[in-house]
Amino acid sequence: MDAIQAIADRHGLAVIEDACQAHGATYHGRKVGTLGDCAAFSFNQNKSLCGGEGGMFVTDNDAVLERARAVMSFGDMRPVDAGRAYHALGLGYKYGHGNLPAAFALASLRRLDETNAWAVDNWHRLRDALDDVPHLLPGFSTAERTSNGYAYVVRVDPAYAQERGVPLDQLTERIRAALAAEGADFARARWLLPAHGVFQAKDAFGNGAPWAHYARPEIDYSLGQWPRAQDCIDTCLWGINLHRPPNGPRQIELLANAIRKVFTQLDTLLNPLLDTLPKEGSQNAEPLPALACSPDTDRLS
Ligand SMILES: Cc1ncc(COP(=O)(O)O)c(C=O)c1O
Protein backbone atom coordinates (compact mmCIF):
# COMPACT_ATOMS: atom_id res chain seq x y z
CA MET A 1 0.00 0.00 0.00
CA ASP A 2 2.92 2.38 0.66
CA ALA A 3 4.05 1.95 -2.95
CA ILE A 4 0.50 2.50 -4.25
CA GLN A 5 0.04 5.57 -2.05
CA ALA A 6 3.35 6.99 -3.32
CA ILE A 7 2.15 6.67 -6.94
CA ALA A 8 -1.20 8.24 -6.02
CA ASP A 9 0.54 11.14 -4.24
CA ARG A 10 2.77 11.75 -7.25
CA HIS A 11 -0.20 12.00 -9.63
CA GLY A 12 -2.85 13.47 -7.32
CA LEU A 13 -4.98 10.32 -7.37
CA ALA A 14 -7.34 8.96 -4.73
CA VAL A 15 -6.76 5.43 -3.42
CA ILE A 16 -9.80 3.16 -3.10
CA GLU A 17 -9.05 0.02 -1.13
CA ASP A 18 -10.68 -3.20 -2.24
CA ALA A 19 -10.71 -4.60 1.29
CA CYS A 20 -13.29 -7.20 0.27
CA GLN A 21 -12.09 -10.12 2.43
CA ALA A 22 -9.71 -8.25 4.72
CA HIS A 23 -11.90 -7.45 7.75
CA GLY A 24 -9.48 -7.09 10.66
CA ALA A 25 -6.26 -7.55 8.66
CA THR A 26 -3.54 -4.97 9.32
CA TYR A 27 -0.78 -3.25 7.39
CA HIS A 28 2.04 -1.71 9.43
CA GLY A 29 -0.24 -1.80 12.48
CA ARG A 30 -3.17 -0.04 10.78
CA LYS A 31 -6.46 -1.73 10.03
CA VAL A 32 -7.07 -2.43 6.35
CA GLY A 33 -9.88 -0.11 5.24
CA THR A 34 -8.26 2.91 6.91
CA LEU A 35 -5.24 3.14 4.60
CA GLY A 36 -6.59 4.86 1.49
CA ASP A 37 -9.19 7.59 0.86
CA CYS A 38 -12.04 5.10 1.12
CA ALA A 39 -12.58 1.35 1.11
CA ALA A 40 -15.17 -1.33 0.50
CA PHE A 41 -15.70 -4.59 2.39
CA SER A 42 -17.85 -7.48 1.23
CA PHE A 43 -20.32 -9.30 3.48
CA ASN A 44 -21.23 -12.01 1.03
CA GLN A 45 -20.88 -15.81 0.95
CA ASN A 46 -18.01 -16.92 3.15
CA LYS A 47 -16.46 -13.65 4.27
CA SER A 48 -15.02 -13.32 7.78
CA LEU A 49 -17.74 -10.77 8.44
CA CYS A 50 -20.71 -12.30 6.66
CA GLY A 51 -24.28 -11.10 6.25
CA GLY A 52 -25.18 -13.36 3.33
CA GLU A 53 -24.93 -10.45 0.86
CA GLY A 54 -24.03 -6.78 0.69
CA GLY A 55 -21.06 -4.95 2.10
CA MET A 56 -19.81 -1.75 3.64
CA PHE A 57 -18.27 1.42 2.30
CA VAL A 58 -15.97 3.32 4.69
CA THR A 59 -14.27 6.70 4.52
CA ASP A 60 -13.27 9.52 6.87
CA ASN A 61 -13.77 12.12 4.13
CA ASP A 62 -17.17 13.89 4.25
CA ALA A 63 -17.14 14.86 0.55
CA VAL A 64 -16.38 11.30 -0.51
CA LEU A 65 -19.13 10.02 1.78
CA GLU A 66 -21.65 12.41 0.28
CA ARG A 67 -20.70 11.32 -3.23
CA ALA A 68 -20.89 7.64 -2.28
CA ARG A 69 -24.38 8.13 -0.86
CA ALA A 70 -25.48 9.76 -4.10
CA VAL A 71 -24.01 7.00 -6.26
CA MET A 72 -25.76 4.46 -4.02
CA SER A 73 -29.14 5.91 -4.87
CA PHE A 74 -29.44 6.81 -8.56
CA GLY A 75 -27.39 10.00 -8.19
CA ASP A 76 -29.96 11.54 -5.88
CA MET A 77 -27.85 14.09 -3.99
CA ARG A 78 -30.09 14.90 -1.02
CA PRO A 79 -28.76 14.14 2.47
CA VAL A 80 -29.93 10.72 3.67
CA ASP A 81 -32.01 12.16 6.48
CA ALA A 82 -33.96 14.30 3.97
CA GLY A 83 -35.41 11.26 2.19
CA ARG A 84 -35.18 10.81 -1.55
CA ALA A 85 -35.74 13.72 -3.94
CA TYR A 86 -36.36 11.38 -6.91
CA HIS A 87 -34.18 13.78 -8.84
CA ALA A 88 -30.92 12.40 -10.24
CA LEU A 89 -28.20 15.05 -10.41
CA GLY A 90 -25.55 12.53 -11.44
CA LEU A 91 -25.44 8.93 -12.61
CA GLY A 92 -25.87 6.36 -9.88
CA TYR A 93 -27.03 2.86 -9.10
CA LYS A 94 -29.38 1.08 -6.73
CA TYR A 95 -26.94 -0.16 -4.11
CA GLY A 96 -29.19 -0.04 -1.05
CA HIS A 97 -28.30 -2.61 1.60
CA GLY A 98 -31.01 -5.13 2.52
CA ASN A 99 -32.04 -4.98 6.18
CA LEU A 100 -31.87 -8.71 6.79
CA PRO A 101 -28.28 -9.18 5.53
CA ALA A 102 -27.35 -6.02 7.49
CA ALA A 103 -28.81 -7.54 10.67
CA PHE A 104 -26.84 -10.76 10.11
CA ALA A 105 -23.67 -8.73 9.47
CA LEU A 106 -24.19 -6.72 12.67
CA ALA A 107 -24.54 -9.92 14.68
CA SER A 108 -21.40 -11.27 12.98
CA LEU A 109 -19.57 -8.00 13.77
CA ARG A 110 -20.11 -8.52 17.51
CA ARG A 111 -18.11 -11.76 17.27
CA LEU A 112 -15.58 -10.66 14.64
CA ASP A 113 -12.57 -10.25 16.96
CA GLU A 114 -13.23 -13.65 18.47
CA THR A 115 -13.81 -15.48 15.15
CA ASN A 116 -10.83 -13.75 13.49
CA ALA A 117 -8.53 -14.72 16.38
CA TRP A 118 -9.79 -18.29 16.10
CA ALA A 119 -9.20 -18.36 12.31
CA VAL A 120 -5.74 -16.85 12.72
CA ASP A 121 -4.85 -19.40 15.39
CA ASN A 122 -5.92 -22.22 13.07
CA TRP A 123 -4.07 -20.58 10.19
CA HIS A 124 -0.78 -20.57 12.14
CA ARG A 125 -1.36 -24.09 13.40
CA LEU A 126 -1.78 -25.25 9.80
CA ARG A 127 1.29 -23.41 8.59
CA ASP A 128 3.40 -24.89 11.41
CA ALA A 129 2.09 -28.38 10.64
CA LEU A 130 3.10 -28.00 6.98
CA ASP A 131 6.51 -26.53 7.70
CA ASP A 132 8.57 -29.41 6.33
CA VAL A 133 6.32 -30.50 3.43
CA PRO A 134 8.33 -30.66 0.20
CA HIS A 135 7.55 -28.35 -2.76
CA LEU A 136 4.92 -26.44 -0.75
CA LEU A 137 5.45 -22.71 -0.31
CA PRO A 138 4.54 -21.45 3.18
CA GLY A 139 1.42 -19.36 3.79
CA PHE A 140 2.20 -15.65 3.73
CA SER A 141 1.75 -13.41 6.76
CA THR A 142 4.26 -11.10 8.48
CA ALA A 143 4.21 -8.78 11.47
CA GLU A 144 3.83 -5.83 9.03
CA ARG A 145 1.05 -7.53 7.03
CA THR A 146 -1.05 -9.66 9.33
CA SER A 147 -3.65 -12.03 7.92
CA ASN A 148 -7.21 -12.07 9.28
CA GLY A 149 -7.19 -15.81 8.68
CA TYR A 150 -9.68 -15.59 5.79
CA ALA A 151 -7.86 -17.88 3.35
CA TYR A 152 -5.08 -20.42 3.58
CA VAL A 153 -3.29 -20.49 0.24
CA VAL A 154 -1.63 -23.76 -0.75
CA ARG A 155 0.98 -23.02 -3.37
CA VAL A 156 3.31 -25.40 -5.19
CA ASP A 157 6.89 -24.29 -5.70
CA PRO A 158 7.20 -23.36 -9.42
CA ALA A 159 10.76 -24.73 -9.36
CA TYR A 160 9.31 -28.24 -8.96
CA ALA A 161 7.20 -27.92 -12.14
CA GLN A 162 10.17 -26.57 -14.00
CA GLU A 163 12.39 -29.41 -12.80
CA ARG A 164 9.83 -31.97 -13.99
CA GLY A 165 9.09 -30.10 -17.23
CA VAL A 166 5.32 -29.88 -16.66
CA PRO A 167 3.06 -26.86 -17.22
CA LEU A 168 2.51 -25.15 -13.89
CA ASP A 169 -1.26 -24.75 -14.28
CA GLN A 170 -1.71 -28.45 -15.06
CA LEU A 171 0.34 -29.46 -12.06
CA THR A 172 -1.76 -27.17 -9.84
CA GLU A 173 -4.97 -28.59 -11.29
CA ARG A 174 -3.82 -32.11 -10.44
CA ILE A 175 -2.95 -31.07 -6.92
CA ARG A 176 -6.41 -29.49 -6.59
CA ALA A 177 -8.09 -32.71 -7.78
CA ALA A 178 -5.98 -34.86 -5.45
CA LEU A 179 -6.76 -32.62 -2.47
CA ALA A 180 -10.46 -32.77 -3.35
CA ALA A 181 -10.24 -36.58 -3.38
CA GLU A 182 -8.93 -36.31 0.19
CA GLY A 183 -11.95 -34.21 1.16
CA ALA A 184 -9.98 -30.96 1.19
CA ASP A 185 -11.64 -28.48 -1.15
CA PHE A 186 -9.41 -25.74 -2.52
CA ALA A 187 -10.37 -23.34 -5.31
CA ARG A 188 -8.37 -21.86 -8.15
CA ALA A 189 -8.64 -18.35 -9.57
CA ARG A 190 -8.96 -18.94 -13.30
CA TRP A 191 -8.42 -15.55 -14.86
CA LEU A 192 -6.26 -12.51 -14.74
CA LEU A 193 -8.51 -9.43 -14.66
CA PRO A 194 -7.28 -8.16 -18.08
CA ALA A 195 -8.04 -11.62 -19.55
CA HIS A 196 -11.77 -11.11 -18.98
CA GLY A 197 -13.76 -10.69 -22.19
CA VAL A 198 -14.79 -7.12 -21.39
CA PHE A 199 -11.16 -5.95 -21.29
CA GLN A 200 -10.07 -8.01 -24.26
CA ALA A 201 -12.97 -6.58 -26.33
CA LYS A 202 -12.61 -3.10 -24.78
CA ASP A 203 -16.35 -2.74 -25.03
CA ALA A 204 -18.27 -2.53 -21.75
CA PHE A 205 -21.31 -0.41 -22.68
CA GLY A 206 -21.46 -0.78 -26.47
CA ASN A 207 -19.65 1.17 -29.21
CA GLY A 208 -16.36 0.62 -27.39
CA ALA A 209 -17.44 2.61 -24.35
CA PRO A 210 -15.80 3.65 -22.15
CA TRP A 211 -12.45 3.00 -23.84
CA ALA A 212 -13.33 4.57 -27.19
CA HIS A 213 -14.31 7.86 -25.60
CA TYR A 214 -12.20 8.72 -22.61
CA ALA A 215 -10.40 5.77 -21.07
CA ARG A 216 -7.21 5.54 -23.13
CA PRO A 217 -8.39 3.69 -26.28
CA GLU A 218 -4.81 2.65 -27.02
CA ILE A 219 -4.39 0.77 -23.74
CA ASP A 220 -2.98 -2.69 -24.36
CA TYR A 221 -4.39 -5.69 -22.48
CA SER A 222 -2.41 -8.34 -24.33
CA LEU A 223 -1.57 -11.11 -21.90
CA GLY A 224 1.96 -11.93 -20.89
CA GLN A 225 2.49 -8.47 -19.36
CA TRP A 226 1.75 -9.65 -15.83
CA PRO A 227 3.98 -12.70 -15.25
CA ARG A 228 3.88 -12.48 -11.44
CA ALA A 229 0.09 -12.26 -11.35
CA GLN A 230 -0.08 -15.12 -13.86
CA ASP A 231 2.25 -17.11 -11.64
CA CYS A 232 -0.22 -16.61 -8.75
CA ILE A 233 -3.13 -17.78 -10.94
CA ASP A 234 -1.14 -20.82 -11.98
CA THR A 235 0.03 -21.83 -8.50
CA CYS A 236 -2.40 -20.65 -5.83
CA LEU A 237 -5.07 -22.91 -4.37
CA TRP A 238 -7.41 -21.07 -2.02
CA GLY A 239 -8.75 -22.78 1.06
CA ILE A 240 -11.57 -20.75 2.57
CA ASN A 241 -13.66 -22.89 4.85
CA LEU A 242 -11.80 -25.84 6.33
CA HIS A 243 -9.37 -23.93 8.55
CA ARG A 244 -11.99 -21.47 9.83
CA PRO A 245 -14.30 -21.60 12.86
CA PRO A 246 -15.98 -23.70 14.09
CA ASN A 247 -13.16 -26.07 13.06
CA GLY A 248 -10.28 -26.48 15.52
CA PRO A 249 -7.07 -28.42 16.12
CA ARG A 250 -8.48 -31.84 15.10
CA GLN A 251 -9.71 -30.57 11.71
CA ILE A 252 -6.44 -28.70 11.17
CA GLU A 253 -4.55 -31.92 11.79
CA LEU A 254 -6.71 -33.75 9.21
CA LEU A 255 -6.30 -30.93 6.73
CA ALA A 256 -2.53 -30.89 7.21
CA ASN A 257 -2.42 -34.67 6.74
CA ALA A 258 -4.34 -34.40 3.46
CA ILE A 259 -2.02 -31.69 2.14
CA ARG A 260 1.06 -33.57 3.26
CA LYS A 261 -0.19 -36.77 1.64
CA VAL A 262 -0.64 -35.06 -1.72
CA PHE A 263 2.58 -33.07 -1.69
CA THR A 264 4.72 -36.05 -0.69
CA GLN A 265 3.34 -37.94 -3.73
CA LEU A 266 3.69 -35.29 -6.40
CA ASP A 267 5.86 -37.54 -8.56
CA THR A 268 3.16 -40.24 -8.51
CA LEU A 269 0.57 -37.61 -9.32
CA LEU A 270 2.59 -36.43 -12.28
CA ASN A 271 3.34 -39.78 -13.93
CA PRO A 272 0.13 -40.02 -15.97
CA LEU A 273 0.53 -36.38 -16.98
CA LEU A 274 4.09 -36.95 -18.20
CA ASP A 275 2.78 -39.88 -20.31
CA THR A 276 0.08 -37.74 -21.94
CA LEU A 277 2.22 -34.71 -22.70
CA PRO A 278 3.32 -34.50 -26.35
CA LYS A 279 7.04 -33.93 -26.62
CA GLU A 280 6.65 -30.23 -27.38
CA GLY A 281 4.22 -29.69 -24.45
CA SER A 282 0.45 -29.38 -24.49
CA GLN A 283 -2.31 -27.32 -22.94
CA ASN A 284 -4.83 -30.14 -23.51
CA ALA A 285 -3.74 -33.09 -21.41
CA GLU A 286 -6.42 -35.58 -20.30
CA PRO A 287 -7.84 -34.99 -16.82
CA LEU A 288 -5.92 -36.99 -14.24
CA PRO A 289 -7.57 -39.70 -12.20
CA ALA A 290 -7.72 -38.61 -8.57
CA LEU A 291 -4.97 -39.80 -6.26
CA ALA A 292 -6.21 -42.96 -4.59
CA CYS A 293 -7.20 -42.57 -0.96
CA SER A 294 -5.74 -45.12 1.40
CA PRO A 295 -8.46 -47.22 3.11
CA ASP A 296 -7.70 -45.70 6.49
CA THR A 297 -7.82 -42.13 5.21
CA ASP A 298 -9.52 -39.99 7.78
CA ARG A 299 -11.60 -37.77 5.52
CA LEU A 300 -12.40 -34.21 6.44
CA SER A 301 -16.02 -33.37 6.74
C1 LIG B 1 -10.99 -8.90 -4.12
C2 LIG B 1 -12.49 -8.87 -4.28
N3 LIG B 1 -13.11 -7.71 -4.43
C4 LIG B 1 -14.45 -7.64 -4.56
C5 LIG B 1 -15.24 -8.77 -4.55
C6 LIG B 1 -16.72 -8.63 -4.72
O7 LIG B 1 -17.42 -8.66 -3.53
P8 LIG B 1 -19.02 -8.53 -3.60
O9 LIG B 1 -19.51 -9.76 -4.27
O10 LIG B 1 -19.49 -8.42 -2.19
O11 LIG B 1 -19.31 -7.31 -4.41
C12 LIG B 1 -14.64 -10.02 -4.38
C13 LIG B 1 -15.48 -11.24 -4.27
O14 LIG B 1 -15.46 -11.95 -3.31
C15 LIG B 1 -13.23 -10.07 -4.26
O16 LIG B 1 -12.60 -11.25 -4.11
Map out the domains of the chain with their CATH numbers.
Answer: 1-110 (3.40.640.10), 112-301 (3.90.1150.10)
Q: What is the mean pLDDT of residues 129-148?
A: 92
Q: How far is CA 175 from CA 10, 74, 155, 256, 274, in A?
A: 43, 46, 10, 14, 15
Is the pLDDT score of 128 beyond 90?
A: yes
What pLDDT score was predicted for residue 108? Answer: 95
Query: Exposed (0-12), middle (13-18) or buried (19+): which is 177, by Cβ within 10 Å?
Result: middle
Query: What is the distance in A from the centroid of ligand 1 to the CA of 260?
Result: 30
Q: Give 176's contacts (C-beta < 8 A, 6+ positions apart).
A: 186, 187, 188, 237
Average pLDDT, the chain: 88
What pLDDT score was predicted for residue 74? Answer: 82
Query: What is the distance in A from the centroid of ligand 1 to the CA of 238?
Result: 15
CB atoms within 10 A of CB 28: 11
Q: Which of 31, 47, 261, 279 is catalytic?
A: 47
Q: Do the beta carbons of residue 189 and residue 198 sit within 8 Å?
A: no
Is the pLDDT score of 298 beyond 50?
A: no
- Relative to the CA of 44, which ligand 1 atom is closest? 10
Confidence of residue 75 (pLDDT cuts 50, 70, 90): confident
CB atoms within 10 A of CB 23: 24
Amino acid present at 284 = N
Is the pLDDT score of 167 beyond 70?
A: yes
Which percentage of the chain shows pLDDT scores above 90?
A: 71
Of 269 and 91, more confident: 269
Of 92 and 229, more confident: 229
Which percentage of the chain shows pLDDT scores above 70?
A: 89
Q: Give 66's contacts (C-beta < 8 A, 6+ positions apart).
A: 77, 79
Residues lining ligand 1, CB < 6 A?
A: 18, 20-21, 42, 44, 55
Residue nearest to atom 1 of ligand 1 (CA): 20
Is the pLDDT score of 6 beyond 50?
A: yes
Residue nearest to atom 14 of ligand 1 (CA): 20
Residue nearest to atom 13 of ligand 1 (CA): 20
47 is catalytic: yes
Q: Give 231's contacts (C-beta < 8 A, 6+ positions apart).
A: 158, 168
Is the pLDDT score of 230 beyond 50?
A: yes
Query: What is the distance in A from the centroid of ligand 1 to the CA of 53?
Result: 11
Is the pLDDT score of 48 beyond 90?
A: yes
Q: Do the beta carbons of residue 8 and residue 14 sit within 8 Å?
A: yes
